[in-house]
Amino acid sequence: MTFKEQIQQGIPTTLPNPKPYETQINHAPKRKEILLDDEKKLAIRNALRYFEPQHHATLAPEFLAELNTYGRIYMYRFRPDYEMKARPISEYPGKSEQAKAIMLMIQNNLDYAVAQHPHELITYGGNGAVFQNWAQYLLTMKYLSEMTDEQTLTIYSGHPMGLYPSHKDAPRVVVTNGMMIPNYSKPDDWEKFNALGVTQYGQMTAGSYMYIGPQGIVHGTTITVLNGFRKIKTTPTGNLFVTSGLGGMSGAQPKAGNIAGCITVCAEVNPKITHIRHSQGWINEVIENIDELVTRVRQAKENKETVSIAYLGNVVDVWEKFDEENLHIDLGSDQASLHNPWAGGYYPVGQSFEESNRMMAENPELFKQKVQQSLRRQTDAINKHTAKGTYFFDYGNAFLLEASRAGANIMAANGIDFRYPSYVQDIMGPMCFDYGFGPFRWVCTSGKPEDLQKTDDIACQVLEELAKTAPTEIQQQMQDNIQWIKGAQQNKLVVGSQARILYADAEGRIKIAQAFNDAIAKGEIGYVVLGRDHHDVSGTDSPYRETSNIYDGSRFTADMAIHNVIGDGFRGATWISIHNGGGVGWGEVINGGFGMVLDGSADASRRLESMLFWDVNNGISRRSWARNEGAVFAIKRAMATQPLLKVTIPNTVDDAILDLL
d(CA 372, CA 342): 10
d(CA 387, CA 367): 30
3-state secondary structure of 212: strand
**Torsion angles phi and psi, residue 146, rounded to 5:** -100, -15
Q: Quick one: which of 54, 73, 57 has its CA closest to 65?
A: 73
To the question of whether residue 553 is assigned a binding role by annotation, the answer is no
Domain ranges for the chain, please list them: 3-196, 214-410, 430-656
- Which of these, 454, 444, 574, 576, lies nearest to 87 by C-alpha position? 444
Q: Please state the length of the chain.
A: 661
> Could you give the count of Cα atoms lying within 13 Å of 555 in the half-sphere of its Cβ?
18
Where do the H-state alpha helices sit in 414-474? 423, 429-431, 449-467
Residue 343 has pLDDT above 70, yes or no: yes
3-state SS of 39-56? HHHHHHHHHHCCCCHHHH
State how far the Cα of 219 lies from the Cα of 222, in Å rounded to an integer.
Answer: 5
Tell me what the mean pLDDT of segment 150-179 comes to: 98
The stretches of 388-409 forming alpha helices (DSSP H) are: 399-405
592 annotated among ligand-binding-site residues: no
Q: Where are the alpha helices (DSSP H) in 71-111?
A: 97-110
pLDDT over threshold 80, residue 440: yes
Give the pLDDT confidence of 59-70 residue by residue, as tens digits.
Answer: 999 999 999 999
Is 125 labelled as part of a ligand binding site? yes
pLDDT at 604: 98
Q: How confident is the model over 264-278, as a mean pLDDT? A: 92
Alpha-carbon span 92 to 445, nearest angstrom: 11
Reported pTM: 0.90
Q: Write down the pLDDT at residue 216.
A: 79
Residue 220 is predicted with a pLDDT of: 84
* Domain 3-196, CATH: 3.40.1770.10
How does residue 250 score in pLDDT terms, banded at 50, 70 and 90? low
Residue 590, strand partner residues: 541, 580
Q: What is the pLDDT of residues 624-660, one digit of tens each?
A: 999 999 999 999 999 999 999 999 999 999 999 999 9
Query: Side-chain half-sphere of 298: how many Cα atoms within 13 Å?
Result: 11
395 is an annotated ligand-binding site residue: yes
Same fold, 3-196 and 430-656: yes
**Pairing state of beta strands 263-268 and 240-244?**
parallel
Is residue 247 within 8 Å of residue 353, measured between CB atoms?
no
Q: Give the C-alpha distances (Å, rounded to integers) separating 367 from 69, 364, 399.
A: 18, 5, 17
pLDDT in tens, 207-244: 999 999 878 788 888 888 998 999 999 999 999 999 99
H/E segment holding residue 331: strand 331-332
- Find out whether 126 is annotated in a ligand binding site: yes
Mean pLDDT of all residues in 349-372: 94
Q: Which helix (H) or strand (E) holds 303?
A: helix 290-303
Those residues whose C-beta lies under 8 Å from the C-beta of residue 187, and which sit 6 or more positions away, are 342, 585, 586, 587
Bin 197: left if φ > 0, else alpha if -120 < ψ < 50, else beta: left
One of 2.40.10.10, 3.30.200.20, 3.40.50.970, 3.40.50.10730 is the CATH number of 214-410, namely: 3.40.50.10730
Cβ contact 342:128 at 8 Å:
no
Three-state SS sequence of 615-635: HHHHHHHHHHHCCCHHHHHHH
pLDDT on residue 307: 98
The average confidence (pLDDT) of the chain is: 94
Considering the segment(s) 430-656 as one domain, its CATH architecture is 3-Layer(aba) Sandwich (3.40)
Cβ partners under 8 Å of residue 230, min gap 6: none
